[in-house]
C-alpha cells in the first residue's frame, strides 16, 4: 500500500528541509552539526516546507479553486506567521533570560557573600526557536519544489 500523496509530500518536505540545514550550517560555520536534523529554527524553515509541500500537492490534486486548497493556504499562512512571530520572539526572550541568569550568577560570584544563596544551575533555554523571514521564504520555496516533485514522480 502506497502512502497518500499529500502525507508523503509533507513528510518529504519536513525531512528534506531538516537535512538541508546541516550542509547550510556547515558552509556558514565549517562545523558539521548532525543535531540540526532534529532541531527547530534555522535555514530553511521545516515547518514551512512541510505545510507548503502539503498545500502544493493538495492544489495539484484537488484544484487551486477547491475548498481543500483554501484550507491549506490559510493553515500555511498561520504556520508561517507563527514561525516568524511568536516562536522567533520566544527565542529572543530565551536569549535575554539566559544572559540575565549568567550575569546574576557572575554577580553572586563577584560578591562572594556566603549568605547569598546561589541559584540552582539550570540548562540554558533554547534560543533558536523561530525563523527570520528569509528562512521562512526558503522553506516555502523548498515546500513548493518538494510538492511539485512528489506529485510528478508519485506512481498513481
85 or 122: which leads in pLDDT: 85
122 pLDDT band, cuts 50/70/90, is low
pTM, entire model: 0.75
Tell me which range, 29-38, 52-61, 87-96, 103-112, is most confidently predicted by mean pLDDT. 52-61
User: In angstroms, rounded to a whole number, what is the distance separating the alpha carbons of residues 137 and 13?
Assistant: 14
Q: Which of 76-90, 94-108, 109-123 has the lowest mean pLDDT?
A: 109-123
Measure the CA–CA gap between 114 and 116, rounded to whole angstroms: 6
Q: How far apart (Å, rounded) are the C-alpha atoms in residues 48 and 143?
A: 7
Q: Residue 39: its pLDDT value, please? A: 81
pLDDT (mean) for 70-85: 92
Q: Is the pLDDT of residue 86 over 90?
A: no
More reliable by pLDDT, 133 or 21: 21
| Calpha distance 125→63 (Å, rounded) | 43
Amino acid at each position: 500500500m502506497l502512502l497518500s500523496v499529500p502525507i508523503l509530500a509533507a513528510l518529504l518536505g519536513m525531512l528534506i528541509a531538516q537535512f538541508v540545514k546541516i550542509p547550510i550550517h556547515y558552509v556558514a560555520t565549517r562545523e558539521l552539526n548532525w543535531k540540526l536534523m532534529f532541531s527547530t529554527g534555522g535555514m530553511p524553515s521545516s515547518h514551512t516546507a512541510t505545510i507548503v509541500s502539503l498545500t502544493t500537492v493538495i492544489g495539484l490534486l484537488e484544484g487551486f479553486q477547491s475548498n481543500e486548497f483554501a484550507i491549506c493556504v490559510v493553515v500555511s499562512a498561520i504556520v508561517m506567521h507563527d514561525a516568524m512571530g511568536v516562536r522567533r520572539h520566544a527565542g529572543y526572550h530565551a536569549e535575554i533570560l539566559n544572559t540575565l541568569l549568567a550575569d546574576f550568577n557572575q554577580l553572586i560570584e563577584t560578591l562572594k557573600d556566603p549568605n547569598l544563596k546561589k541559584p540552582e544551575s539550570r540548562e540554558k533555554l533554547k534560543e533558536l526557536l523561530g525563523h527570520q523571514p528569509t528562512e521562512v521564504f526558503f522553506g516555502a520555496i523548498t515546500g513548493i519544489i518538494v510538492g511539485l516533485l512528489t506529485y510528478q514522480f508519485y506512481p498513481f
